[in-house]
Amino acid sequence: MQQTIAFVLVLLQFAFNADGALKNNGQFPRNFLFGAATASYQIEGAWNEDGKGQSTWDEFTHRIPSPVTNNDTGDIACDHYHRYKEDIKMAADLGLQAYRFSISWPRVLPNGYADTINEKGMQFYKDLVDEIVKYGMVPVCTLFHWDLPLKLYENGIDWRNEKIIDIFVAYSRLMIQNLPKVGYWSTINEPRVHCLRSYGDGKHAPGIAESGIADYQCSYVILKAHAKAYRMYKKEFPHYKAPFGIVIDCQWYVPATNSSEDIAAAERYYEFECGMYFHPISKGDWPDIVKKRIAHRSQLEGRSSSRLPQITPEDIRLMKGAQDYIAINHYFTIMAANAEEASYDEINYKHDVRVNLLNDPSWKISVLGWAICPFGVRELLKHLKEQYGNEPIIFAEIGVADDGTSLKDDIRTEYYQGYFCYILEAMQIDDVNVVAIIPWSLMDNLEWAKGYIYHFGLIGIDFYNDPTLTRRLKDSTYFYRNVTTTKRINCDNVK
């Protein structure tokens, strides 16, 4: 007993110094990875070069009238396809230990199917990975970051159709065979955003607006495709060491008041947004509250079955445990309040969730309306550990947008300093197993349907005024380089 108490005291001494600061003066572990992230459609350009097939995003951004702010497109974007050597050197100069990118599926497979390979496209990703490895960085690769081959879509194959599953697995197998130096694999980026925007409200390519039906079908098909790709990887590539996962976006949700209704609303929102994807993979089924809410409304709409596809016992065998690590994209914290039950005539995701969202007036808000709340990231990490066990966690994206008018981007430095400090607290005090932080983004890029007006980059590009697309260092570039090279963060003034 006495020994236990002494041990606890020693631990406490290590965890805090006299004024409650972090131990080891804000030092991250030696083997911790600091990186930066990008995605193919947002940076590559070269939309119709060297045999690349079109993606649904090429078709979407070329529509007239354009669904994108300022009629922006990814036709050129950062011109990364032609400048990847410069960009990877820039990443190395930033002191990064990891670089996250995604593969444009139609650049490698113009029709989507693995039987017709565009060799130049394949070579691009081989060269890219070699370049990343040359500088000693770990390549972190996402197989699908939203740019679906247009040919598949035109053939009726998208994420609503289970036929896509084996086609995706074949594409995954091919990339894994050809890129053996990748250090972390992930299948799909942000299934929630993808399904809600591309098949729910139609704001993303291919623009399907069938909220409450097609978005859930998409979630189901994506989870199955992910799980099947995971099983294929484990079976066919047992000699590969790279962990395999899926990137799930998850914010932090706090109740607007301490009423039991609002507390339940915050939990419900978490389960609809995050649990919907984490739960099937860790436990094999949808979260209970999600199943109940959708079944309840479906019944009162007069349906004979729920609009949420059923996860079968066979699906559970496939999905449960289908990841080696947790990859999250995290940006902000938001408040949830209970909402009134909406009329059963209107079918959509929002009515299923039945939550109103708001920001606390005391929170600092970025140009996208997202609250900068570093405390939220620690709460999320504690929750993930409690819910899904202490698997290694990677932040595959984290960051803040500004309007890009100044390279003196104090908001970004402040954001990263605060969030890194709270992540380190979760690691040191709550014993959460975070192994990497990969901010969004290495450089400014196309923010999907919002165009080029929002800037997330650690490196600046002035898309509207500078046709040379010169990469420019920001104040946050210097701040981050200090963090990546020292693996240390000063948390003295962080609230």
Q: Closer to ligand NAG by CB, 26 or 457: give it.
A: 26
Which 10-69 positions form the footprint of ligand NAG (CB under 6 A)? 26, 64-66
Considering only residues 13, 17, 70, 390, which one is a binding residue for ligand NAG as defined by CB under 6 A? 70
Catalytic residue among 44, 131, 271, 397: 397
Does 485 participate in binding ligand NAG (rule CB under 6 A)?
A: no
The angle that helices 410-428 and 374-388 make with each other, rounded to 10 degrees, is 30
Does 359 participate in binding ligand NAG (rule CB under 6 A)?
A: no
Does 489 participate in binding ligand NAG (rule CB under 6 A)?
A: yes
Q: How far is CA 171 from CA 34, 144, 178, 448, 456, in A?
A: 29, 10, 11, 24, 30
| C-alpha to C-alpha distance for 107 and 40, rounded to whole angstroms | 10
| C-alpha to C-alpha distance for 224 and 445, rounded to whole angstroms | 31
Is position 154 annotated as part of the catalytic site? no
Q: Closer to ligand NAG by CB, 160 or 268: give it.
A: 268
Is position 162 annotated as part of the catalytic site? no
Q: Closer to ligand NAG by CB, 258 or 405: give it.
A: 258
Considering only residues 258, 465, 470, 493, which one is a binding residue for ligand NAG as defined by CB under 6 A? 258
Does 387 participate in binding ligand NAG (rule CB under 6 A)?
A: no
User: Of the listed pieces 40-48, 299-307, 467-475, 485-493, which binds ligand NAG according to CB under 6 A?
Assistant: 485-493
* Backbone angles phi and psi of 36, in degrees to 5: -155, 150
Q: Smallest distance, Å, CB 376 to ligand NAG? A: 14
Q: Closer to ligand NAG by CB, 51 or 95: give it.
A: 95
- Tell me the number of residues near ligand NAG by CB under 6 A: 13
In sequence order, what are the beta bridge partners of 365?
371
Does 259 participate in binding ligand NAG (rule CB under 6 A)?
A: no
Does 458 participate in binding ligand NAG (rule CB under 6 A)?
A: no
| C-alpha to C-alpha distance for 164 and 188, rounded to whole angstroms | 13
* Backbone angles phi and psi of 133, in degrees to 5: -65, -35
Contact 8, 471 (CB under 8 A): no
Catalytic residue among 131, 190, 414, 425: 190
Q: Render the burial of 231-253: b for 16+ CB within 10 Å, e for the rest.
A: ebbeeebeeeebbbbbbbbbbbb
Dihedral over alpha carbons 456, 418, 278, 169 (to 10 degrees)? 40
Considering only residues 24, 177, 257, 260, which one is a binding residue for ligand NAG as defined by CB under 6 A? 257
Look up residue 213 and give its two tokens: 């039906």
Q: Where along the sequence are the contacts to ligand NAG (CB under 6 A)?
A: 26, 64-66, 70-71, 257-258, 482, 486, 488-490
Q: Which residues are designated catalytic?
A: 190, 397
